[in-house]
Amino acid sequence: MDAIRIEGVEVTDNNIISIRIRINYAMRYDGLQVNTHVYDAKGMVRFTEVNGKQVSMYRLFISKDEVEKSNGTLIIKAIVEGKDVQRVRIRASIIQEHKEVEYDEIAMSIR
């Protein structure tokens, strides 16, 4: 099994993205960082929920303690802000001492 995997991404009609991330990393790390990139449009992706807990961030960091509380499975919800957004890249990275040690990413169409 991969150390980190974006297992599923779903997009609703009102531009809400649901992301499922699985982490199975046995070595030392500080947390998980999730970033997005909007292709060819003026728009952003704002994270709104992590495992049912409300957040409002454009760049998401989840501590190792929170990852372990969720048994390595995170359900993240986000909303696409911008009218012309058609493609988005999502990148989830395991971070140790300000460095990326493992990652997974996916590019997807919104419309």
pTM of the model: 0.91
User: What are the extents of the domains in the chain?
Assistant: 4-109
Domain 4-109, CATH number (from 3.40.50.360, 2.60.40.2410, 3.40.50.2300, 3.90.1170.20)? 2.60.40.2410
Q: Which of 28, 21, 20 is nearest to 2 (CA)?
A: 21
Q: Say if strands 16-23 and 4-11 run parallel, antiparallel, or are unpaired.
A: antiparallel
Average pLDDT over all residues of the chain: 93
The pLDDT score that the predictor gives to residue 1 is 56
Q: Distances from the Cα of 5 to the Cαs of 24, 44, 54, 69, in angstroms?
A: 9, 23, 23, 18
Residues in CB range of 36: below 8 A, 6 or more apart: 44, 45, 58, 78, 88, 89, 90, 91
Give pLDDT, residue 12. 87
Contact residues for 82 (Cβ-Cβ < 8 A; gap 6+) = 38, 41, 42, 43, 44
Per DSSP, the three-state class of 3 is coil
Residue 40 binned pLDDT confidence (cut-offs 50, 70, 90) = confident
